[in-house]
Amino acid sequence: MPHEFELHHELSVEATPEQVWDAIATGPGIDSWFMGRNQVEDGFIRTVFADYTPENTVTAWEPGKHLAATSETAADGRFVAYEFLIEGRASSSTVVRVVTSGFLPGDDWETEFEAMNAGLALFYATLAEYLTHFAGRTAVPVTAFGPGDFASLRATLGQPQTGDTLTLTPPGQEPTEGVVYFTNSQTIGIRTGDAMYRFVDGFGGGTVAQHHLFTPGADPDEADRAWTTWLAGLSS
């Protein structure tokens, strides 16, 4: 049976409403916590994530207060809409309420919904980490796909749990200490001093790296290739 859904997330962050707005309503801001490469212009928010290239129409635009956007409705009725409500608080803190709603067709909607829910939880946790630790900085987004399964990745990282401190060795770099800021059955997010490293279960076999590098001069194409090789090593 098809399914209508509505998901609610609330973030309390030590950032100003203006910093929140820059993070959700500009291409470089969205690049720093969401996925792929993003562009905001002419009333659209466009994302390029491998072969996935959604274009969302902006339906509400109140800088520092309210942003909403929705995808085009497909022939089968599928669509996804996002709404951000921003409320400034004392001492430069802000509450961000996010509503994600839409429609999933088909009899297998539960599997798709589970994956979406897990991914959104990681994205919004990453937004909170970005605003808390990297606000005002711009990240280089990294996207890499590997054949190694997610269980192998978890084992490689020592079965991490939220709040754990671990040592990660990014390809071509020295070992670095990181904090596991979020994990669930399908995702892992690790924050270091100059990056947020995220791993997502790719289903059907494979793991996807969706990282954000805050090191000045980071080369996204080089990083994509390096992490693709790193992920391939999980299955060797």
Q: What is the pLDDT of residues 217-236, one digit of tens each?
A: 999 999 999 999 999 988 65
Q: What pLDDT does residue 64 have?
A: 97
Residue 146 is inside which H or E element, if any?
strand 140-146
* pLDDT the model gives residue 3: 83
What dotted CATH number matches 3-133? 3.30.530.20
Q: What is the mean pLDDT of residues 38-42?
A: 97
Mean pLDDT of all residues in 66-71 = 97
* Under 8 Å between Cβ of 119 and 187: yes
> Would you say 196 and 187 are in contact if contact means Cβ atoms under 8 Å apart?
no
- Predicted confidence at residue 107, as pLDDT, reads 76
Residue pointed to by tokens 């429609």: 103
Can you tell me the distance from the alpha carbon of 201 to that of 183, in angstroms, rounded to the nearest whole number?
A: 11
Looking at residue 204, its pLDDT comes to: 62
141 vs 49: CA distance, rounded Å: 10
Q: How confident is the model at residue 116 (pLDDT cuts 50, 70, 90)?
A: confident
Residue 55 has a CB neighbour count (10 Å cut-off) of 12
Quote the pLDDT of residue 180.
98
| Confidence at 159, pLDDT banded by 50, 70, 90 | very high
pTM score, two decimals? 0.94
pLDDT band of 203, cuts 50, 70, 90: low
In Å, how far are 5, 79, 116, 227 from 1, measured between CA atoms?
13, 16, 17, 39
DSSP at 234: G
